[in-house]
A and B are shown apart, each in its own frame.
Chain A
Amino acid sequence: MFLQFMINGIIIGSIYSLVSLGFALVYNTTRIFHLAYAVLYMFCPYIILTFYSNLGYPLIIAFIIAIIITILLSLILEIIIYRPLSKKGSSDNIIMISSIGIMIVVINIVAMLYGNETKILNQNISETLTFGSIIITYTQLAQFLISSFLLVVFLMFLKFSKFGIKTRAMRDDTILCSVFGSDIYKMRIALFTLSAIFAAVGGGLVAYDVGMDPYVGMPMLLNAVVALIIGGIGRFEAPILGGFIIGILQSLSVWAFSARWQDAVTFTLLILFLMFRPQGLLGEKRRTV
């Protein structure tokens, strides 16, 4: 049983890592506490629902269309909301509150269009693979493979491409980066695009397994943020590490206590980290946190 819960934890951890990395891409570089990111995660499965269940496109095509539309939404948010605020020099708190505003608006628009109840994408019960005593569904396998693939590709990309170098430069010092002639707002477009892809893929994969309602974004975002804090703000490997830790820990807390205490375990961990190691596992120490 322990092994089974461990495997479940690793699978869900890979999703947390993916979503958390998307959040980190925006937060580490722009310092936008992008709460509306939760909305992107929730938005993608609904678009899949429209194209796959209602219009009858094949699943893969519907997924790709949904990812593209989610990217568009993300860019609209950046261009209409965040960019003017940041050009105006608004403080982090103001940007975060605006983000809460966006979140409220989009969640309720989706709720008006699709209804508040839970919707499912996959009517069939997923087939399973059995290794000895361990059971994995094909959906879980897909979740793990797709998210790990994206994580690895992204890390390579970050390490070796010109864009990756610029991203790391922007993380370290945005102003210096623009002094050296990089167009910050062009970079931000790319970052918001990438982060939307991660949110959309994560959202789609989870919704295909367990369905969705308009409020699924927030709990996932919170897990992603906790993963980021535990891993540490700064290095892009950190949210991935944090994601796996959270996933395994939650799964084991289901095994040890019950599913009801999952959140309490996660957020106690968050508060412990904030108190004793606010820079996270891989973060560098800063004087003010």
Chain B
Amino acid sequence: MINIYIILTTSTNLLVGMTNLLSLGQAALYGIGAYLAVLALMALHLSLLPTLIFVILGTSLLSLLVAYPSLRLRGDYFVLATLGFQLIVFTILYNWVSVTKGPYGIPGIPSLVLFGDIIISGIIPYLILSSIFAIGVIIIFYKLIHSPFGRALKAVRDDELSAQAIGRNVTALKIWAFVVSSGFIGISGLLYASYVSYIDPTSFNLDEAIFILSAVIIGGTGNIKGPIVGAVFVVVLPELLRFVGLPDSVAANLRQIIYGLMIIILMRLRPQGLAGEYALK
């Protein structure tokens, strides 16, 4: 799970940390990735590599539908547009029963097939696979941040008008950032679906979107380490609380309270998060 969340938070960081766009639609993209993966695996019987390509392309294309209208808006309005997208996707996943099986979910998702007949199943192979993906995504984002594209994004983030003045197409850059980040979020959807082997829409609701965003914010924005710290933190904290020996019902609420308090305190004292370098504005 840590690896899945690292991919999620690292990709979200491209939006929040690099472009100063708060998106509350990340869980919808995560869900779209998962459902597309199921489509590829169960209806088309693809092996790993084609599935991966299918999911990345599919999620990116669908995200374009959101990116294009919403990125012309700023600040609160952008957040609202992504929130609307999140709720619409959730409603569709939940109610289009003939395709998504709605609230019943889709059980029995087959394991991933690497080339020929090498099947990845069991915990250890998944750990290795997801680690490879997570490390791959981190390396790609590291390169991306230090590429001309990354620097242009930073310029847009820090001063949109100046970036525009030296001839950057601000909206196009933002759309690219959104689409790239969505494509990678698709990967985490794929990993989640095949790892848990059962998906239903409630894994991709608004709470999940808020959760992803708060993981990024707690960890920190603008660099590579921040999102990793955030992902590790939000996944490890529940295990720690279990270790302390609280009953499950209290622990779930207490965990949320800790996240909430951390967000409030961090926003007051350290808006760049635990390990980030860019303070939100």
Q: Does A123 contact B (CB under 8 A)?
A: no
- In the complex, besides A271-B70, A271-B84, 8 extra interface pairs with C-beta distance below 8 angstroms are A95-B267, A101-B260, A102-B264, A104-B257, A105-B264, A108-B257, A268-B84, A274-B84
Cα–Cα, bound, A111→B256 (Å): 11
Partner of B280, one of A93, A222, A229, A260: A93
Partner of B75, one of A92, A98, A101, A274: A92
Asked if A264 and B281 sit within 8 Å, CB to CB, the answer is: no
Q: Does A244 contact B (CB under 8 A)?
A: no
Instruction: Tell me the minimal C-beta distance from A46 to chain B in angstroms.
Output: 15
Number of residues in A with C-beta < 8 Å to the partner?
Answer: 42
Q: Does A58 contact B (CB under 8 A)?
A: no
Interface of A is mostly: helix
If A261-B95, A263-B87 touch, whether A274 touches B260 (CB-CB below 8 Å) is no
Q: Does A208 contact B (CB under 8 A)?
A: no
Give 3 closest A-B pairs by Cβ, nearest first.
Answer: A101-B263, A104-B260, A105-B260
**Interface-centre pick from B77, B80, B87, B263 (highest chain A CB count, 10 A):** B80
Q: Does B113 contact A (CB under 8 A)?
A: no
Interface of B is mostly: helix
Asked if B210 and A105 sit within 8 Å, CB to CB, the answer is: no
Q: Does A81 contact B (CB under 8 A)?
A: yes
Q: Does A97 contact B (CB under 8 A)?
A: yes
Asked if B22 and A93 sit within 8 Å, CB to CB, the answer is: yes
If A97-B22, A97-B280, A263-B91 touch, whether A271 touches B261 (CB-CB below 8 Å) is no
Asked if A289 and B253 sit within 8 Å, CB to CB, the answer is: no
Q: Does B146 contact A (CB under 8 A)?
A: no
If A91-B281, A93-B281, A288-B74 touch, whether A104 touches B92 (CB-CB below 8 Å) is no
If A93-B281, A267-B88 touch, whether A105 touches B261 (CB-CB below 8 Å) is yes
Contacts of B77 in A (CB 8 A): 274, 278, 289
Asked if B80 and A274 sit within 8 Å, CB to CB, the answer is: yes
Instruction: Tell me the minimal C-beta distance from B261 to chain A in angstroms.
Output: 6
Contacts of A104 in B (CB 8 A): 210, 214, 256-257, 259-260, 263
Asked if B80 and A225 sit within 8 Å, CB to CB, the answer is: yes
Can you list, as one digit per residue, whether each of B3-31 has a CB less than 8 Å from chain A (1) or not (0)? 00000000000000000101000000000
Partner of B217, one of A92, A97, A264: A97
Residues of A159-205 contacting chain B, CB below 8 A = none
Contacts of B206 in A (CB 8 A): 218
Q: Does A71 contact B (CB under 8 A)?
A: no
Q: Does A62 contact B (CB under 8 A)?
A: no
Instruction: Tell me the minimal C-beta distance from B246 to chain A in angstroms.
Output: 11
Contacts of A108 in B (CB 8 A): 253-254, 256-257, 260
Partner of B253, one of A84, A98, A111, A270: A111
If A288-B74, A289-B77 touch, whether A264 touches B85 (CB-CB below 8 Å) is no
Cα–Cα, bound, A264→B95 (Å): 10
Cα–Cα, bound, A246→B206 (Å): 21
Cα–Cα, bound, A195→B239 (Å): 39
Can you list, as one digit per residue, whether each of B225-269 has a CB less than 8 Å from chain A (1) or not (0)? 000000000000000000000000010011011011111100110
**Interface-centre pick from B76, B81, B84, B281 (highest chain A CB count, 10 A):** B84
Residues of A74-89 contacting chain B, CB below 8 A = 81, 84-85, 88
**Interface-centre pick from B69, B88, B214 (highest chain A CB count, 10 A):** B88
Contacts of A270 in B (CB 8 A): 80-81, 84
Asked if A271 and B85 sit within 8 Å, CB to CB, the answer is: yes
Cα–Cα, bound, A288→B78 (Å): 12
A selection of 27 A-B contacts at a CB cut-off of 8 Å is A92-B75, A92-B76, A93-B20, A94-B281, A96-B79, A97-B213, A97-B267, A100-B210, A104-B256, A104-B257, A104-B260, A105-B257, A108-B254, A112-B257, A225-B80, A260-B94, A267-B87, A267-B88, A268-B88, A271-B81, A271-B84, A271-B88, A274-B80, A274-B81, A275-B72, A278-B77, A289-B73
